[in-house]
C-alpha cells in the first residue's frame, strides 16, 4: 500500500510517498510525478519509504526528466541509509540533489535556480 501526499508551499511543491515503491505501487507514484511535472520546483521526500526497487527508481528518474523538460527542477530528501545507499550507488545523486533532511533539500532546490 502506497499513500502519496502533495503539499504546496511557498516556492516548491512537496511530494511525500509513504510505503514501498516497487513494481506493484509504481504506477501511482509515476502518475503523481507526472502531475507535478508542471511545477517549477518539486521536493520528493522519501523518509517514509522503507523500500524502493528499480521500478520505483525508474519512476523517480522519469519524473525528474519530465520536470526538467518543463524547465522545473527536483530535489530529494532521504534519511534512510539503505535508500540513500541505493541513490548513491546508482549515480542518482549526480543528476539530482539528495539530502538527508527536508531543510537541506529545500536549500539545494533554492540554489538550483541560480
Does the pLDDT at position 108 exceed 80? Answer: yes
Give the pLDDT confidence of 38-57 residue by residue, as tens digits.
999 999 999 999 999 999 99
Specify whether domain 3-109 bears CATH 3.30.750.24.
Answer: yes
Q: Sketch the domain layout of the chain as residue ranges.
A: 3-109
**Tens-place pLDDT, residues 21-35:** 999 999 999 999 999
The answer to whether the CB of 98 falls within 8 A of the CB of 60 is no
Helices (H), 2-101: 26-36, 54-69, 81-89
User: From residue 72, how far is each of 25, 38, 67, 112 by CA, in Å?
Assistant: 25, 7, 5, 10
CA atoms within 13 A on the CB side of 51: 8
C-alpha cell belonging to residue 2: 502506497
| CA distances from residue 8 to 20, 49, 60, 76, 81 in whole angstroms, order as listed | 23, 20, 19, 16, 27
pLDDT of residue 1: 86
pLDDT in tens, 70-82: 999 999 999 999 9
Mean pLDDT of the region 68-95: 94
Q: What integer is the mean pLDDT of 1-10?
A: 94
First CA to last CA distance, the chain:
38
Mean pLDDT of the chain: 93
| Average pLDDT over every residue of 87-96 | 93
Residue 114 has a pLDDT of 46
Amino acid at each position: 500500500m502506497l499513500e502519496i501526499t502533495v503539499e504546496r508551499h511557498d516556492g516548491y511543491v512537496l511530494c511525500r510517498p509513504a510505503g514501498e515503491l516497487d513494481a506493484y505501487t509504481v504506477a501511482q507514484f509515476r502518475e503523481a510525478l507526472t502531475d507535478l511535472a508542471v511545477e517549477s520546483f518539486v521536493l520528493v521526500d522519501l523518509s517514509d519509504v522503507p523500500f524502493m526497487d528499480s521500478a520505483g527508481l525508474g519512476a523517480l528518474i522519469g519524473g525528474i526528466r519530465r520536470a526538467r523538460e518543463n524547465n522545473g527542477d527536483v530535489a530529494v530528501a532521504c534519511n534512510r541509509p539503505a535508500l540513500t545507499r541505493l541513490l548513491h550507488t546508482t549515480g542518482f545523486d549526480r543528476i539530482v540533489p539528495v539530502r538527508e533532511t527536508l531543510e537541506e533539500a529545500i536549500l539545494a532546490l533554492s540554489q538550483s535556480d541560480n
